[in-house]
Amino acid sequence: MLLSVLNRKEKLKFLDLAMRMVSVDGSPNEVEQRLLNMMLAEVGDNIVAEYHFSLSKNLKQTTDYFISSTAKVKNIIYLNLLKVAMSDDFYNTSEHLFLEELREKLNIDETKKKQLMRLVYTERDLRERAKRVVGH
């Protein structure tokens, strides 16, 4: 969601964080993999061709990159990571701790976090309603 707004380096760094997010609790499950594929499509083929699909060696360096970013970029990054974490019905404690640590580093307050989470829930609800309408 809104990943196309990011510049080349931000997209690459985001993919590092997304890969870290899905790896926090082991290998990505089917739902997480499908969501990652959609995010890869959103960042563009040129980024996908350039990206190495492995965990970055230095998570601190990756997160520190976003500390000086604009609030808009930080919110887009955090929104998409929330979407990954909330993509399946299993919200792992490790994912929660990862997101909270990142939220604090990026200086995203609790109110903004709740707003971003509401967006993820609204999108999920819309998708489910669409499935019901199309299915009947």
Is residue 89 very low, low, confident or very high in pLDDT (cuts 50, 70, 90)?
low
- At residue 112, the pLDDT reads 97
Distance CA 46, CA 82 (A): 25
Q: How confident is the model at residue 100 (pLDDT cuts 50, 70, 90)?
A: very high
- How high does pLDDT run on average in the chain? 86
Query: Is residue 117 predicted with pLDDT exceeding 70?
Result: yes
For tokens 């995010």, name the residue. Answer: 39
Q: Which two tokens stand for residue 55?
A: 């965990």
Phi and psi of 91, rounded to 5°? -95, 95
Q: DSSP letters of 82-132? A: HHHHTSSS---HHHHHHHHHHHHHTT--HHHHHHHHHHHHHHHHHHHHHHH
In Å, how far are 40, 60, 96 from 105, measured between CA atoms?
A: 25, 10, 14
Yes or no: domain 3-135 corresponds to CATH 3.40.50.970: no
Torsion sign, CA atoms 65, 98, 100, 116: positive
Q: In the prediction, which pLDDT does 53 show?
A: 63
pLDDT tens digits along 37-84: 788 778 887 777 777 666 667 788 889 999 999 999 999 999 999 998
Kindly report the pTM of this predicted structure: 0.86
**Composition of the chain by helix, strand, coil, percent to 5:** 75, 0, 25
Q: What is the mean pLDDT of residues 110-129?
A: 93
Residue 21 vs residue 103, higher pLDDT? 103
